[in-house]
Amino acid sequence: MSPWLPIIMAVPVVGAIVVALLPKGGDKLAKQVTLAVSLLTMVLTGVMAAGFKPGGERFQFKAEYDWIPSFGVKFGVGVDGVALVLIALSVVLVPIVVLASWHDADGVRTSDGTLITPKRSVKTYFSLLLVLETMMIGVFAATDVFLFYVFFEAMLIPMYFMIGSYGGAQRSYAAVKFLLYSLFGGLLMLVAVIGLYVLANKGTFMFEPLVGAIKDPTTQKWLFGGFFIAFAIKAPLWPVHTWLPDAAAQAPAGAAVLLVGVLDKVGTFGMLRFCLELFPDAAKAFTMPIVVLAVISIIYGAIVAIGQTDMKRLIAYTSISHFGFIVLGVFAMSSVAQSGAALYMVNHGFATGALFLAAGFLIARRGSPFIADYGGVQKVAPVLAGFFLVAGLAGLSLPGLSSFVSEFMVMIGTYSSVAHGSGALTVAAIISAVAVILAAVYILWMVQRTLNGPTAEPVKAFKDLNAREIWVLAPLVALIIGFGFFPKPLLDVINPSVQQTLTNVQVPTATIAEKGTGQ
């Protein structure tokens, strides 16, 4: 057994306890300790990841400890390529969010100067960040289905308090709506998890023995439904998406980054890992209805984003469109589309994270999330405007930036898939391509209204980014550009896991495009 994952998961928890026990008045120390702990977690994850062998055993760095022996429940963790890159995304974003959130727990000031004070202390906020980091690592690392469910539900607790205690004027409503939607999905998944355990009759919740254990197609469909609805809510997929715009708009910018950049990826990760491999016949049977929902999400999210007047709600709706692309790639069931979907999860986290944080810095200066309250920002804060522009262009998948590679792979993999008959998926890919035009509309409209034109009177007093804020955005922009030109390191890790998934689902791993190029 490897100690890497238990240690990496333990470090943030220990850090959270230390931060919570700091004496009253130690707010600055609490922030510094949180930053140090998150950086240590990132370094440890990097060292572990350096030992990952893409061509080796599927699940690596495995550790298993008996947890509830009478029910065969283990504390089982391990990572394949997809889980590894998502854990890496999480541990990279957390220290960036800590830096960005340096003053988030101090309160939110509105455009009329009113200070919305948080319900809880600064120490509590940063303790919650570290607890959430452990949950995010755990949910991607879990190789025991019951343990995955526990982390899936436990993630809700710190995020609920981060939104409900430190968010905007409608924070309580947004937090409760987020919690209720997620709990409903979690309840359905719990029923399916128990059904899987009983009907598989393996005496264990460990993932690998359960693959292929359910043979009956009808049983697969019922269990698949429980898992899929929970993941569709988490993703979120139309029509169970309505909690996201409210939660993202009311959450502090840093919390919104982790919510949209990481927590929502648990939904698409769960579809790829659990829905497809545990219930392959059901996944094939429901592919076309799910593809239809994905296409609706892509177009709907883009169209509604165009009509938004609130920056954070606009970004949230763009994410609904992006998640539609990810779901489309997962259920296209070609190696190119699924690798593109997994890569999209990572690249979306960096691109949307940068856009949320840049928008958060604008809102902190102006006190308003409304696009109409800005104008001419580039004249008074050119560095902030530049970062905002690059993040926006990544959001519309401009060639040369990381999101373009992911989106292109999903569309070409879907267009050329032979898994379900190329005709219907070809149509889905063509319709989805309309979102590329719509993305240009909503991003360029927002950029034009905020950065260009006459300088609004309140904007004239803006200060440009300080050193801390530059350190927040610069790494994300570097990753967006770097993976835009050179995504190979991520794809080398992702591809073997995708091939294993398709093998377990018994789908040909080659697409028409791959056959045509001789790959």
Report the range out of 140-149, 255-264, 377-386 with the highest average pLDDT.
140-149
Q: Please, are residues 399 and 414 in contact by the beta-carbon 8 Å criterion?
A: no
pLDDT of 448-478, one tens digit each? Answer: 989 888 888 888 888 988 999 999 999 999 9
| pLDDT reading at 387 higher than 90 | yes
- List the beta strands (DSSP E) in 176-314: none
Q: Please, are residues 435 and 299 in contact by the beta-carbon 8 Å criterion?
A: yes
Which residues have C-beta within 8 Å of that of residue 68, sequence separation ≥ 6? none
Cα(133)–Cα(100) distance, integer angstroms: 16
pLDDT of 290-327, one tens digit each? Answer: 999 999 999 999 999 998 999 999 999 999 999 999 99
Dihedral, CA atoms, 321, 323, 325, 330, nearest 10 degrees?
Answer: -160
Cα(66)–Cα(508) distance, integer angstroms: 37
Residue 368 CB neighbour total at 10 angstroms: 18
Q: Please, are residues 116 and 110 in contact by the beta-carbon 8 Å criterion?
A: yes
Cα(156)–Cα(150) distance, integer angstroms: 10
Angstrom CA distances, 176 to 100, 246, 460, stand at 25, 10, 38
Q: Please, are residues 353 and 361 in contact by the beta-carbon 8 Å criterion?
A: no
* Secondary structure of residue 206 in the 3-state scheme: strand
Q: What is the pLDDT of residue 153?
A: 93
| pLDDT reading at 93 higher than 90 | yes
Helix segments in 72-121, DSSP class H = 81-100
Instruction: List beta partners, residue 142.
Output: 77
- pLDDT above 70 coverage of the chain, percent: 94
| pLDDT reading at 518 higher than 60 | no
Listed range (166-175, 187-196, 214-223) with the worst mean pLDDT: 166-175
Q: Please, are residues 244 and 236 in contact by the beta-carbon 8 Å criterion?
A: yes
Query: What are the structure tokens assigned to 120, written together?
Result: 């809880």
Query: What are the structure tokens assigned to 214, written together?
Result: 């359910």
* Secondary structure of residue 290 in the 3-state scheme: helix
Helix segments in 373-487, DSSP class H = 377-380, 382-395, 402-415, 422-432, 434-451, 467-485
* Secondary structure of residue 370 in the 3-state scheme: strand
Cα(465)–Cα(457) distance, integer angstroms: 19
- pLDDT above 90 coverage of the chain, percent: 55
Q: Please, are residues 48 and 4 in contact by the beta-carbon 8 Å criterion?
A: yes
